[in-house]
């Protein structure tokens, strides 16, 4: 990691807003502006705007695009029409998760992949290594900005900036060529917060203009710029996993509760045999949610214990500002995975008691979405 940190087109905007900048996935990103708790609450109650331009965007074009992706991911792209997005892991032959990504079906022979920043280079090499002839692969990460407008007031704010009927975009659908503050963007009804919201992909040269326009239009609604800190507490409360923390190449989708993204009946794909075998033979461990009785935070790597014996390990933990408790995710043996089961997390040499919890920790009201 000796390479210099990269900056999104919004770097100067973040600094001007008083953001605290930190290294993340090879990028210099805002971790917070006014404070993680305040930003978290703004997203739950009103709206927040995130710069997630560090994410990787890769365009695939040609008759080979669909078959290539079908072969590389565990979920079934054939069940998605043009205008729909698909969440899916991409696995090694052993079933280990190389990355989790979104696949946007732009057309019959046009796809866009959205990759985690820290994995983009490795993903690209993996994808290129499996490509044969009839597909063009273009890394668009450097010139593409991505803004996430999230929260119950996201739609009302976006509607002030676009003539397009963005309210009709359904969850995990998108529209291309939407004018947002006069600039063309791809707008999708997706996010990583557990709230309603949109992700807006656009040319990086327009990022500052659109960022400013959204913050301005959202001012009466109480929008706040929100950083990676709030993004992490929001996604954790929503039970969403973070690659590199909760899953990686040593874990399979089945172990981390992503079995619903593994479509063994779709035809052969990389990792299918290993996942089929694991499904048949049983899981060695399962990722579960837990709630602690104290406010001490269970950090990544802390041991999970029961009756004094170590039975697992914490993968993510934080104070959940909305749920009001110390919450986390971690691996335990399958026989310890049922909700209500008592566990303890070892925090600086001390066992802090808690229970296995049903995920997600937080679910928004249906009518708000």
Partner 1 sequence: MYPKELRYSTEHEWVRLEGGRARVGITKFAADRLSDVVYVELPKVGSEVAFMQPFGVVESVKAVSDLYAPLSGKVVEINQALVEKPEVINTDPYGAAWMIIVEPRDLKELAQLLDAGAYMALVGERPS
Number of residues that bind partner 1 (CB under 8 A): 17
Distance, CA of 299 to CA of 280 (rounded, Å): 32
Residue nearer to partner 1 on the CB measure, 135 or 347: 347
Residue span 271-300 as binding mask against partner 1, x where in contact by CB under 8 A, dash where not: -----------------------xxxx-x-
Residue nearer to partner 1 on the CB measure, 233 or 278: 233
Sheet strands side by side (includes 97-107):
85-91, 97-107, 110-115, 56-61, 136-139
Q: How far is the CB of 42 from partner 1 (least distance, A)?
A: 14
Residue nearer to partner 1 on the CB measure, 35 or 83: 35
Q: Render 53-116 in DSSP notation, one character per residue.
A: TTSEEEEEESTTHHHHHHHHBSS-GGG--TTBEEEEEEE-TTS-EEEEEEEEEEETTEEEEEE-
Q: Which stretch binds partner 1 (CB under 8 A): 152-160, 266-274, 316-324, 338-346?
A: 316-324
Residues 344-363 that bind partner 1 (CB under 8 A): 348
Question: Of 177, 234, 166, 218, whose CA–CA distance to 49 is shortest?
Answer: 218
Q: How far is the CB of 40 from partner 1 (least distance, A)?
A: 9
Residue nearer to partner 1 on the CB measure, 121 or 351: 351
Contacts of 223 (CB under 8 A, 6+ apart): 42, 46, 47, 48, 49, 151, 153, 157, 214, 215
Q: How far is the CB of 296 from partner 1 (least distance, A)?
A: 5
Residue nearer to partner 1 on the CB measure, 201 or 302: 302
Question: Of 7, 44, 47, 42, whose CA–CA distance to 24 is shortest?
Answer: 7
Q: Which stretch binds partner 1 (CB under 8 A): 66-74, 244-252, 275-283, 315-323?
A: 315-323
Q: How far is the CB of 39 from partner 1 (least distance, A)?
A: 10
Distance, CA of 62 to CA of 267 (rounded, Å): 21
Distance, CA of 306 to CA of 288 (rounded, Å): 15
Residue nearer to partner 1 on the CB measure, 32 or 150: 32
* CB contact at 8 A, 253 and 259: yes
Q: How far is the CB of 358 from partner 1 (least distance, A)?
A: 23
SS3 280: helix
Q: Which of 326, 329, 336, 344 binds partner 1 (CB under 8 A)?
A: 326
Q: Is 306 annotated as a binding residue?
A: no
Residue nearer to partner 1 on the CB measure, 257 or 354: 354
Residues 218-277 that bind partner 1 (CB under 8 A): 229, 233
Question: Of 85, 27, 58, whose CA–CA distance to 144 is shortest?
Answer: 58
Q: Which stretch binds partner 1 (CB under 8 A): 123-131, 155-163, 173-181, 313-321?
A: 313-321
Does 120 engage in binding with partner 1 (CB under 8 A)? no
Question: Of 315, 128, 157, whose CA–CA distance to 224 is shortest?
Answer: 157
Distance, CA of 226 to CA of 219 (rounded, Å): 14
Distance, CA of 36 to CA of 103 (rounded, Å): 30
Residue nearer to partner 1 on the CB measure, 128 or 295: 295
If one counts every other C-beta atom within 10 angstroms of the C-beta of residue 93, the result is 10
Question: Of 354, 45, 28, 21, whose CA–CA distance to 218 is shortest?
Answer: 45
Residues 19-78 that bind partner 1 (CB under 8 A): 31-32, 35-37
Binding residues: 199
Interface with partner 1 (CB under 8 A) = 31-32, 35-37, 229, 233, 294-297, 299, 318-319, 321, 326, 348
Binding residues for substrate, by number, are 199
């Amino acid at each position: 990691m000796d390479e210099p940190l990269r900056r999104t087109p919004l770097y100067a905007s973040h600094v001007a807003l008083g953001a605290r900048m930190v290294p993340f996935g090879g990028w210099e990103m805002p971790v917070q502006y006014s404070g993680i708790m305040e930003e978290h609450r703004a997203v739950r109650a009103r709206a927040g705007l995130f710069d997630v331009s560090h994410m990787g965007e890769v365009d695939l074009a040609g008759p080979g695009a669909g078959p290539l992706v079908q072969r590389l991911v565990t979920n079934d792209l054939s069940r998605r029409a043009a205008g729909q997005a698909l969440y899916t892991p991409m696995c090694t032959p052993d079933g280990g998760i190389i990355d989790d990504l979104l696949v946007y079906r732009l057309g019959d022979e046009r796809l866009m992949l959205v990759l985690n920043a820290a994995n983009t280079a490795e993903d690209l090499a993996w994808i290129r290594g499996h490509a044969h002839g009839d597909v063009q692969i273009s890394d668009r990460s450097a010139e593409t900005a991505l803004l996430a407008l999230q929260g119950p007031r996201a739609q009302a704010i976006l509607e002030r900036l676009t003539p397009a009927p963005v309210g009709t975009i359904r969850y995990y659908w998108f529209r291309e060529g939407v004018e947002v503050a006069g600039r063309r963007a791809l707008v999708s009804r997706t996010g990583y917060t557990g709230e309603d919201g949109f992700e807006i992909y656009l040319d990086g040269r327009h990022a500052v203009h659109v960022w400013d326009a959204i913050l301005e239009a959202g001012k009466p609604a109480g929008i706040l710029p929100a950083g990676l800190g709030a993004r992490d507490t929001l996604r954790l409360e929503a039970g969403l996993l973070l690659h590199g923390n909760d899953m990686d190449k040593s874990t399979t989708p089945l172990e981390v509760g992503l079995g619903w993204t593994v479509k063994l009946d779709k035809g052969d794909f990389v990792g299918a045999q290993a996942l089929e075998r694991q499904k048949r033979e049983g899981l060695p461990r399962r990722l579960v949610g837990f709630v602690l009785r104290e406010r001490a935070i269970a950090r990544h790597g802390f041991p999970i214990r029961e009756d004094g014996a170590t039975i697992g390990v914490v993968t993510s933990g934080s104070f959940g500002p909305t749920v009001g408790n110390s919450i986390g995710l971690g691996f335990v043996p399958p026989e310890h995975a049922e909700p209500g089961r008592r566990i303890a997390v070892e925090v600086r040499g001390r066992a802090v008691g808690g229970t296995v919890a049903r995920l997600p920790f937080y679910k928004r009201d249906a009518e708000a979405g």
